[in-house]
Amino acid sequence: MKILFFGDKSVGNGILEYLKTTDDVIGIVTNKHDEETTWFPKVKGYWTTGKELPKFKSFDWIVCAYYDEILPDEIINSAKIGAINIHLGLVQDYRGCYPTTFPIIDGKKEAGVTIHKLTSKIDGGDVYIQAKVSVDDFDTGKSLYFKCTGAAVAIFKEYWEDIKTGFPFARKVKFSKKYNNRASFPSHEIKLNWSKDKIDRHVRALTFPPFQRPYFIINGKKFEIHYV
């Protein structure tokens, strides 16, 4: 089948490389990289704002994995058969950005990934398949991200052929009523009057090298926290 792919980062690369072995990937659209980064492999493809998409020839499916822009309905509906999104979160709990950060902050014991129908509503389409991963007491934002990335690539490989042929059938779930946008990310400042458990959860959730580390301030002096 002819696939138009939108995506980036580790999960996008893992899924794209698999698609290249199973289907005809006729176009790759990726995110804009504002600066040089080394912590994730970049998908090599065409970059667009999402408003001015290139004119691709006819295609059967859209597969989206970690793409930053909301695709308009006219693009989604141009797929002859269907469009799916791979989200690094359980859509009943976390839609939008940072779905591997907030489960740690909120003290969840489980996080997960969702493959769902792609719609213009953020992470709001009927669900094909989900997988849960444990949130352990030592998990950081980075370790949980890679746990969920591995789970997402694994269930995509397991279920992609079934999805293409119409099974398993997508089902409705009770979605989280809110979603997190890029401005939703919590402050890296740790308050020392928080409980020990809250401090631990925030420090772990905000530990994601090479990004800014969590910190606290005493007498106007800033101290970074290195979680090991």
**Over residues 74-79, mean pLDDT:** 90
> What's the mean pLDDT in 175-181?
83
What pLDDT is stored for residue 50 in this prediction?
52
What rounded mean pLDDT belongs to the chain? 89
Domain extent listing, the chain: 2-180, 186-224
Per-residue model confidence (pLDDT) at position 32: 74
Q: What is the pTM of this model?
A: 0.90
Distance (Å, rounded) from C-alpha 2 to C-alpha 79? 9
- pLDDT computed for residue 175 by the predictor: 85
Percentage of the chain modeled with pLDDT above 70: 91
pLDDT tens, residue by residue, 16-62: 999 999 999 988 888 876 555 556 666 776 655 555 566 677 899 99
For range 167-196, the mean pLDDT:
89
Instruction: Round to whole Å and give the CA distance between 126 and 115.
Output: 9
pLDDT at 203 over 90: yes
Point out the least confidently predicted range of 47-51, 67-71, 154-158: 47-51
pLDDT of residue 37: 57
Confidence of residue 99 (pLDDT cuts 50, 70, 90): very high
Predicted confidence at residue 13, as pLDDT, reads 92
Q: 3-state SS of 73-119? A: HHHHCCCCCEEEEEECCCCCCCEECCCCCHHHHCCCCEEEEEEEECC
Q: Which token pair is 41? A: 């492999």
What does the DSSP 8-state code read for residue 58?
P
Average pLDDT over residues 136-159: 97
Q: Say yes or no: domain 2-180 is CATH 3.40.50.170.
A: yes
CA angle centred on 214, ends 208 and 217, rounded to 5°: 170
pLDDT of 216 reads: 96
- Residue 27 has what pLDDT? 87
Does the structure show a pLDDT above 90 at 200?
yes
Q: How far apart are the first and last CA of the chain?
A: 46
